[in-house]
Each structure stands twice: as structure tokens, then as C-alpha cells.
Structure 1
């Protein structure tokens, strides 16, 4: 009888198909039931994985949602790396507004903003994993546009970002929706002419 070599143990290495199933399940369940109705048990059931697998990979449902948000925003509304013209900058902020207001994946962003208001751990993770890296890329986009002479912001770069993004997120949180006209008006006022 020949010896059978046991399969190497995968340990904490994630199976990509299972990881994606979990992210999609969390996204779908959030839209269907809201944050309060989103449970690890429901995510595991929908994704077809064991609950222990989820806990081995993510310490909380907030971390699952952060992975979902990072993946979806990079795919659907990446910060441009192309030469930074005024049209590229405004186009990015219009795309961001559509993502937040119209894309079901944008609901994850709004949920995490809301959760961060009363959960310090969620707030720190949201800032560290999503907001800070994305803001750095957005600031770089504006700086490149300034350096190219494409825009001349009336405020410093951080205040400009706040003034462009804040109203979009506020309108989405209050259910007022968004519009290209709002972003265009904000952009024209804040980004200035070189």
C-alpha cells in the first residue's frame, strides 16, 4: 500500500472565490437589510462558507464592508492617474457623486460613514484603510492639476477636497440625491481658472 501525501494545509490563506463570495454577499445583504440586519451568519449562509472562515479572515462585519468598499470604489471610481486636466478633475468628482448616490456599492460608503459616528474602532479602521489612502490620491490629483496649470483652487487642497466631497456625501446621506450640476457648480467655484 502506497503512502498518500496529505494536502498541504492552506492555513489562513484566503481562497479567492470564497473571498469574493463573502464580499458580494455582504454587499447584497447590506442593500437588502441595512447594517443592523447584516450578520456574519447571514453573510456565511449567502456566500456558502463557514462562519469560522469569515471570522478567521475578518474580525467584524465592518472590516468585510471595508474590503467591499475598497474593491468596488477602485473598480468603479478610481482616482485618475492620467494627466490632470480640469476636465479630468471634474470628471472624477462627477463619477464619485454618481457612485455615492446611484451605485448600490456607494451605500457601503454611506453605511461606514454613519457607523463611524458612534463606533470608534470602525471610525479608525475606516480612516486608516479607506479615507486616508484615497484622500492622498485625490490630493495628488489636485496637486498635479495645479502643477500643470489646469486649476487654481481658492482654498488649500484639503479644504478643496472637503468642499467638493462633503456636499455630495451630505446630500446622499439625507436622501436628496446628487447631480452633475452640483459638482459642476462646486468645481467652477472652488477649482478656479488658472
Structure 2
């Protein structure tokens, strides 16, 4: 069976997003311009503006579409191992030399642009939160964590140190660091006799 055909619109959109990411890596987000993206992608700037309302919206869509994998949780029956595996995948992606500067720039832009902030929550933060809470809820139902565990707070407690290290201090987030954070969290979540 032949592969489905993509439209010229889809090809142009992907070319624009790839050009955006390549230019952002080369010149930095703050020096990224719509005109340069359009020229690099071989389209007019109006073509870019028909698809995205701002440079921030273009950048967010490009980074998340091209680099944010699904980051789904496995379910092996061992919630601690599953959470560690998912976080290893997340930090390996977000801390990579290829993605880290883009992700930092995206989060910085979200502090200045409410549209980008809302889209970042909708497309990245909220889905990851929902997946984490769902995996913890399944573990709670299986008796692996305390019945009265606050799953929303567990999510915040789990992700806070990681984003602090990735975005504020720029310290390396190794699998050992992930293990220590997850083990500390689950020490407080285990069912009590």
C-alpha cells in the first residue's frame, strides 16, 4: 500500500518549522526573525503569518511538533520503575544539547507571551500532568501507594526539582538524580500499616 500523500501545505508547514528550529539553534531565539524563517523555508512571510500569529507561536509549534515525544508511561506493574523510566526519557530529551536551549527559550518566551504560555500548558504541561496523575491513580488503585495520597501534589513534587535543575540552575539531570528524587517522593507515598 503506498504511503499517504501529503499536501503542499503540509510540506511547507514542516519546512517552515524545521527552518525555525535550525535558525533558532544557529542564531538564538531572541535573534530569530520571521523574515529569515520565511526566506530559509522558501516561502513568503505572509505564508508564515497565515499559519502562526507570532514568532512565539511559531517557535512553540515548531519545538513541540518536532521534538516533544509522547513521553508516555509504561505500566509494568511497578509504579516506581515506570515513573523513573518516563522521567529518564523526559530528561534525556529536555536536557539534550539539541533540545535544551530550545526548551529554555520556549519557557522564557512563555513568561512574556500569554498566548505561548497557554499553548505550552495545553500542549505540553497539562498532558504530561494528566499522564502522571493517571499512572499514580492506577498505582493507588493497585495498593502500591497510600490510599490518601494527594496525586496532584505528588505530580508537583516530582516535577518541580527536575524543572528547577533543567531551567534555573542548568545542572545536569542524570538518571541517578532522577532515582534520588523519585525514591524520596515514593518514600512518602508508600501505604502505611
Alignment TM-score, normalising by the size of structure 1: 0.79
Alignment of 1:45-84 (within 5 A): 45-75=39-69, 77-80=70-73, 82=75
CA separation in 1, counterparts of 2:162 and 2:147? 19
**Post-superposition CA distance 1:85-130 (Å, at most 9, x none):** 3212210011111111115234333222112223333222322333
CA separation in 2, counterparts of 1:49 and 1:71? 20
**Stretches of structure 2 lacking an aligned partner (at least 5 in a row):** 1-6
SS at match of 1:117: helix
CA separation in 2, counterparts of 1:73 and 1:144? 28
User: Do residues 118 (structure 1) and 100 (structure 2) align?
Assistant: no
CA separation in 1, counterparts of 2:44 and 2:35? 9
**C-alpha deviation, 1:154, in angstroms:** 9.1
User: Do residues 144 (structure 1) and 138 (structure 2) align?
Assistant: yes
Moved more, 154-163 or 89-98: 154-163
Moved more, 61-70 or 48-57: 61-70
Cα 1:154/1:115, change in 2 over 3 Å: farther
CA separation in 2, counterparts of 1:92 and 1:185? 15
Q: Which has the higher helix share?
A: 2
CA separation in 1, counterparts of 2:134 and 2:68? 16
CA separation in 1, counterparts of 2:15 and 2:144? 42
CA separation in 1, counterparts of 2:66 and 2:109? 19
Alignment of 1:1-194 (within 5 A): 15-75=9-69, 77-80=70-73, 82=75, 85=78, 86-152=80-146, 156-173=150-167, 174-192=169-187, 193=190
CA separation in 2, counterparts of 1:132 and 1:123? 12
Moved more, 77-86 or 115-124: 77-86
CA separation in 2, counterparts of 1:164 and 1:135? 10
Aligned length: 181
**For the Cα contact (< 8 Å) 2:74–2:86, is it kept in 1?**
no
**For the Cα contact (< 8 Å) 1:66–1:130, is it kept in 2?**
no
**Stretches of structure 1 lacking an aligned partner (at least 5 in a row):** 1-12
Question: CA RMSD, aligned part only?
Answer: 2.6
CA separation in 2, counterparts of 1:144 and 1:55? 43
CA separation in 2, counterparts of 1:163 and 1:25? 36
